[in-house]
Amino acid sequence: MTALAHDSFALARRNLEHVRQIPEKLLDVTLQPIMFVLLFAYVFGGVIAVPGGDYHEYLVGGILVQSLVFGMMGPGVAIATDMQEGIVDRFRSLPMSRAAFVLGHVIAEMAAIVVAITILTITGLVVGWGIHSDLVHAVGGFGLLLLLAFAMIWLGMALGLAVRSPDAVQGVAFMVVFPLTFVSTVFVPAAGLPDGLRQFAEWNPVSAFSAAVRDLFGNPTAITGDPPLPLQHPVVTSVIWCLVIVAIAAPMAIRRYKARTTD
């Protein structure tokens, strides 16, 4: 177990060195979310009404969730690139644990996510967002974000190991993630959407994630009337979704990695 941890952290450092040398790898979870915050806060913030609160307070929780969901592309592309370039064959010739390659990616991606969440939190404070809950709920909010990030990393790696090229990861992930994040409550309350889209948004897991983060941070959730069960209990729903994703994606990624690295 000690050897596995040592090897995993060694490979995590290798992945983080890539980020230091090519910092644009973090654009999708740093500058892109900042652009969304500034765009929606200052361009659309004056025309989008949020029941029971300010739009800036509503927006940031959704952007945090959207960034983490889109963040699945990073680990997927990274591990697909490693598999395509044959670096794994070199690692297999070394006296190291085979599982360390996958765990090293997870550790490095989690470190990058912590940086991204920190940057977005600071950006939110700049545009007028704030945390209005007590310390326990605030810590719970950040804990939920890290749990969501952990689930998305495993999902991205499962996808990266299932397809044959990094371009395929981006194509497949974008086709799934784009509608899930935009037809949700990330940017606007579900009540303002037309029938069909409103029901989809209310049952969309991304909406539950967004509502849970807002609830834990004490921000307006804009949930009115008689919402479906996921939005009535968004925190519990979000935790269940994350655990289900990890329970499916992690074994899938490990099995696929073993299959592709077995002679």
Q: What is the pLDDT along the chain (263 residues), one digit of tens a residue?
A: 577 777 787 778 877 776 666 665 666 666 777 888 888 888 777 778 787 788 889 999 999 999 999 888 888 888 888 888 777 767 666 666 777 878 888 998 898 899 889 989 998 998 889 999 999 999 999 999 999 999 999 999 999 999 888 888 888 888 999 899 999 999 989 888 899 999 999 999 999 999 999 999 999 998 877 889 999 999 999 999 999 999 999 999 999 988 877 76
How far apart are the C-alpha atoms of 241 and 52, rounded to whole Å? Answer: 27
The tally of CA atoms less than 13 A away on the side-chain side of residue 35 is 6
CB atoms within 10 A of CB 22: 9
Angle at 200 between CA 168 and CA 129, to 5 degrees: 85
From residue 49, alpha-carbon distances to 2, 52, 84, 113, 234 in Å are: 54, 9, 48, 30, 22
How far apart are the C-alpha atoms of 218 and 130, rounded to whole Å? Answer: 9
How far apart are the C-alpha atoms of 15 and 111, rounded to whole Å? Answer: 10
How far apart are the C-alpha atoms of 205 and 68, rounded to whole Å? Answer: 13
3-class SS string, 21-69: HCHHHHHHHCHHHHHHHHHHHHHHCCCCCECCECHHHHHHHHHHHHHHH
Buried residues in 156-180 as b, exposed as e (16+ CB within 10 A)? bbbbbbbbeebebbbebbeeebeeb
Query: What digits encode the pLDDT tens for the residues 15-32?
Result: 777 666 666 566 666 677
Amino acid sitting at position 69: V
Extract the tokens encoding 76.
């997927």
